[in-house]
Structure 1
Amino acid sequence: MKRAVLVFLAVLLAFGLAQKRVVLGVGGKTAVVYLPLTVVERLGYFKEEGLDVVIQDLQAGSRALQALIGGSVEVVMGFYDHTIQMQAQGRDIVAFVQVGRYPAIVLGVRSDLADQIRSVADLKGRRVGVTAPGSSTHFFLNYLLVKNGLKPTDVAVVGVSVGAQAVAAVQNRQVEAISNVEPAITLLEERGLIKVLADTRSTRGTREVLGGEYPAAVLYTTRAWLDRNPDTAQRLVNAMVRGLRWMQGKTPEEIAAVLPEEYFLGDRALYLKVLRNSLESFSPTGRFSDTAPLRPLTVLSAFDPNVQRARIDLKRTYTNAFVDRVPKQ
């Protein structure tokens, strides 16, 4: 009996060593900007890398960041600009694989107010929905306000989350405008509820609004965690890059086939249109370019006094070391 128990414990230990547990927070799992995370999870790539990834859906990027700082998650799937914001506050946060090369954030106004709100400058005094205050959708709004001669305080910001909650906030007239991501944007457009003022879902739109490629969704963590867990980080990156490669050239129908039914919000055909509008925004390689991180720095410097005052070392906000070690196909 004693020998059997020892064998059983050895098996458990071996399984524990084979399956490395990682707690990962995401700022809205059903948001299309984070879609590769679900693709990788559903295709089993994390498990094939020997990882037990526990995903906590925190509904907004700012909440995911808070969870990392508070220690309740180890890694975040969120937007790259938070790494710059944190460095300005003296925190060493590092992005280690790029998922989105464009933000895919859209600013739209309610269609019934389109004759009154014809430009960003007309938003003064209005209520604008964002996923959550302090999230990248909020940063995007702030930048556009400053760029158009307003201050961030010239509007009232309302947290509306993502997906169905964001759509409901517009339908119920809780906000006059919205800065949000897919699938909410296409749902609102198809129902004739919003008119788009700024759109970064495509190469052309991102170039018009932000000047070019703009690191968006990434995996980031503290430098201390990265230094302690290089093997785990490499496995995470291996899985994510494999997922990004899998998505290249796939049709919306092929991608939708691996997703949970609840992602479609009751309208699969409309969700396929959402995917068509979004596929261009994902990185094909997971790699950061040397110049693109300058754009988030420019955006944040436009309205964040901490970033304006800080001497930001962009090279410390991201690394390609893990992506460069991913096995070739």
Structure 2
Amino acid sequence: MTDCCSTSTQTAELCACDEGIDLLDDAPSASAIQIHPFTRREVLKYMGGFVLTGFLAACGQTASAPGTRDGATVQAGKNGGKLQKLDLAFCSQVLCVLPFEVAKQQGYFEEAGYDVNLVYMKGGTQAITALLSKGVDFVGTPMDLVVRSVDEGKDVRMVASTSRLPFFALVTAPEQAEAITSVAGLAGKRVGVGNLGTTDDLLLRTLAVKNKIDPEEIESVALGPNLADTLLRGEVDAGMVQEPALTLVTEKGGRLLANFMDLKETTETLGGAYQFMGLNTRPDVIEEQPDTLRALARALVRANAWILEHSGADIVKAAPEELVAGGNTEVFAKALDRYKQSLYPGDGIIEEANVRRVVDAQRAAGLIDEGKEIDLSSLFTNEFIESQG
């Protein structure tokens, strides 16, 4: 296997050979997936520039077995007992990662008996690919990708909700604010999204249909998890952004066209809350590792409770600063205070009505064939939440 620490390729500077966060690269099969020991700072720095492609295996290390790292257990730091190691992959949008980072940083995973390695992916699509190829057994991704997978005949199931609203808002570039005054004005325009086929892209298509635009008339441009700078430079005409990017762009003159972080506006557009992020896995994992799923779900519920009980100023400390648009943690903290009660459920329950809206939105956007029914029970289960009493 190539030792990238000795190569002169553009990826060599990422091969620091130190302990750090793992990154799963794109792979069509489990055997092709490799774990890369890059530091989180290095990974997120390059994610911001959207050049995380074609990584070689780092420092001669081989891939870990699915769901584990370097053996089954490790001595716990707090209680002296043994922790089971596992990888949990998720998309790297800043609001998405908070429950997972809080669960790790507050010790909730460890108290449940697990040493969880958080795997930052380029997007939810890559995380789902890793799950389906059995590169990992647990991922945090939006319900949209669960629906897309099931619609294509691939079994994925959500077992706990970490957010019940999408973390996105549609805003114009400042220089386009006068020309684009509504969603209808996006026909023929370039709109930045984190990645193609993920929730922000799907919601953009849904908005197009509701505004009587053919989604194909809007050019979706994949820009990675932090597209604020590209939007401010006017390299795209509009973008699906999170906070604090939304505040930063509107302060510079961008026009807000739709805000899915606001429950009232989401209800007006979609009819109610829209199941977004959650803990997802495969049916074989549900059958073989129920205790692990119950423990992870419990830790994430505790993390969301912590988020709801704390100020934005405290919560923002759990966010990787490399993912905070503009590095403006003060703006981000204020946004968390404004939206957290709407975004993060305190009980982890997945509401059927919210899942149905995801399916309905995809059908309206032309992603699900007319007349095709999707069994909602094949998309999620609350058994690991409800069994905790």
* TM-score higher than 0.5: yes
How far apart are 1:14 and its partner, in Å?
7.0
Instruction: Map 1:130-169 to 2 at 5 A.
Output: 130-163=193-226, 166-169=227-230
> 330, 338, 344: which is aligned to 1:269?
330
Q: Which residue of 2 aligns with 1:325?
A: 387
**Residue 95 of structure 1, CA deviation:** 0.2
Aligned to 1:298: 360
3-state DSSP class of the match of 1:78?
Answer: strand
2:155 to 80, 87, 92: 92
1:64 and 1:142 mapped to 2: Cα distance? 22
Distance 1:309 1:20 in 2: 45
Structure 1's unaligned 5+ residue stretches are 1-11
Structure 1 residues 59 and 274 mapped into 2: Cα distance closer, same or farther (>3 Å)?
farther
Change (3 A) 1:76 1:202: same
Q: Which residue number corresponds to residue 27 of structure 1? A: 91
Residue 81 (structure 1) aligned to one of 144, 147, 152: 144
Structure-2 residue corresponding to 1:278: 339
* Structure 2, unaligned runs of 5 or more: 1-70, 76-80
Structure-2 change in CA distance of 1:124 and 1:49 (3 Å) = same
Return the alpha-carbon distance in structure 2 between the equivalents of residues 14 and 134 of structure 1. 36
Distance 1:13 1:138 in 2: 38
Q: Distance in 1 between matches of 2:296 and 2:348?
A: 12
Match of 2:23 in 1: none
User: For residue 288 of structure 2, what is the aligned residue in structure 1?
Assistant: 228
Within the candidate set 31, 36, 40, 2:99 is matched to 36
Query: Alignment partner of 2:333: what SS?
Result: helix
The one of 104, 107, 110 aligned to 1:47:
110
Shift of 1:81: 1.7
Mapped to 2, the partners of 1:226 and 1:169 lie a distance apart of: 41
Instruction: Report the Cα offset of residue 293 of structure 1.
Output: 1.3
Separation in structure 1 between the aligned mates of residue 286 and residue 333 of structure 2, nearest angstrom: 36
Letter aligned with residue 185 of structure 1: L
Work out the CA distance in 1 between the residues paired with 2:354 and 2:128: 22
* 2:316 maps to 1:253: no
CA shift, 1:33, in A, is 3.1
Per-residue deviation, residues 134-166 of structure 1 (Å, max 9, x unmatched): 111000000001111112211111111123xx0
Q: How many residues align?
A: 312
- 1:191 matched to 2:245? The reply is no
Match of 1:56 in 2: 119
Task: Kindly indicate which of the two structures has a greater share of residues assigned to helix.
Answer: 1
Mean CA deviation greater in 123-132 or 176-185: 176-185
Shift of 1:13: 7.6
- Select the structure with the greater relative contact order (CA < 8 A; seq sep ≥ 6): 1
Query: Aligned-residue CA RMSD in angstroms?
Result: 2.1
AA aligned to 1:176 is D
- In structure 1, the residue matched to 2:350 is 288
Cα deviations by residue, 1:223-257 (Å, 9 ceiling, x for unpaired): 11221111111110010011112222322123234
In structure 2, the residue corresponding to 1:322 is in which secondary structure? helix
Q: Is the 8 A contact 2:225 2:323 kept in 1?
A: no
Partner of 2:233 in structure 1? 172
Q: Determine helix, strand or coil for the equivalent of 1:55.
A: strand
Output the TM-score relative to the length of structure 1: 0.88
Distance 1:185 1:153 in 2: 25
So what's the TM-score if we normalise by structure 2?
0.75
2:160 is the alignment partner of 1:102: no
Contact 1:131 1:162 (8 Å CA) reproduced = yes
C-alpha separation in 1, matches of 2:73 and 2:152: 41
Q: Which residues of 2 match residues 238-249 of structure 1 at below 5 A?
A: 238-249=298-309
Find 1:72's aligned residue among 116, 130, 135: 135
CA contact (8 A) 1:89 1:306 kept: no
Amino acid at match of 1:182: E
